[in-house]
Structure 1
């Protein structure tokens, strides 16, 4: 039998978590981008091997997607976007959590909240990268290994799709 527990974080609560994120980000500025990624990946690995509640596991998947976006050479992420994501991953590169991870069922609550804040801040980046991965998968199935899919080809496809939708709407409204 499952039980649903929900709670609402007030603006003050969110400010507290954002302040913790800022402190971690400032500390993590001592690390290279590669070290921040390695530490964030290590945290993901630890979390994957732990017995996580579902509310944490779903957020962990999104965090891993952001890390993959940073490391994907075909995504060709601009440096400004990389810096923003690395800053958001800084919390996960610090070993000291608000709630120790070894407390069963509760140890990852602070991590889930931080991941949720990161996801909210970077939801458009996450959505775009997920769409790109789907596009790449379809193109690779369709054309095989010579598909040569990158961010530019995806954006070109998106522009074509947008123009097609605009033409279709014009035809519908002109009737």
Structure 2
């Protein structure tokens, strides 16, 4: 039991340090998350912005997140079941103690859902939409990347557009 407490204190300290000195600096304020250029269907663009904002919502509610299911429910609002599971698997860590007990916690780190510089909806039918998210080169700050484009496939689930697939294109 004593070893369990030491592990818990260590992980809580690690999370606190990460949040104070790492993650909070990497998470852009909401007003900075506005997409600069829109082309195409506004309903689909709004669904993408909503889905990509769910990570921010997760961190705002982190004191209410106690289980993997709590994380999954947040991302299921804007993503397919499969993508919600993938995101949840990345963000929810499970640790085991020496006694065989396990506990979970959110993984502190850089954001994984960053809104692009522009969104272009290429096609939309009653149940499927394709959009291109274009990211300009970012060479400054703790998160850097070359310019790239992500192709999103969205599906309409009972009147709600959700992201079902994300493909990277150079």
TM-score (norm 2): 0.28
Higher helix share: 1
Larger-Rg structure: 1
More strand by share: 2
TM-score, L = length of structure 1: 0.28
